Amino acid sequence: MGALSRTRDPKEIGNMTVTKEDLCEAVMKSPLRLTASQAKNAVESVFETLKETMERGENVKLTGFGVFTVRNKRTRTGRNPKTGESIEIAARRVVTFKASPLLKVKMNGKTKER
């Protein structure tokens, strides 16, 4: 089991959240044996690199985990559900995530068949 594994009631799945602090603790407990400060800097550095990469419009592929894709969405007309009034939704960039087949298999508690 990984450093982030927790014994939880299966009914709670979907209600659990792993925070940056949890990730830092997992890095500290890893064989790297980093101090709390070093682990925090490492985790922050990874997230900063991910953000900077996506800000440039580049996708991020993490083998065995998945792909974060930056998509451009056009301006479109939407509707306020409460009033029914038409509104313009501005063009924007969004990030989508597609899990790798390996992650999907692990999430479902099966082994990958070849």
The residue ranges of the chain whose pLDDT is under 50 are: 1
pTM of the model: 0.73
Q: Please give the full DSSP string across the chain, using - where no structure is assigned.
A: --TT-----GGGTTS----HHHHHHHHHHSTT---HHHHHHHHHHHHHHHHHHHHTT--EEETTTEEEEEEEE--EEEE-TTT--EEEEPPEEEEEEEE-HHHHHHHTT-PPP-
Q: Where are the domains of the chain?
A: 10-56
pLDDT tens, residue by residue, 71-89? 999 999 999 999 999 999 9
The predicted-structure confidence for 56-72, as pLDDT tens digits, reads as follows 999 999 999 999 999 99
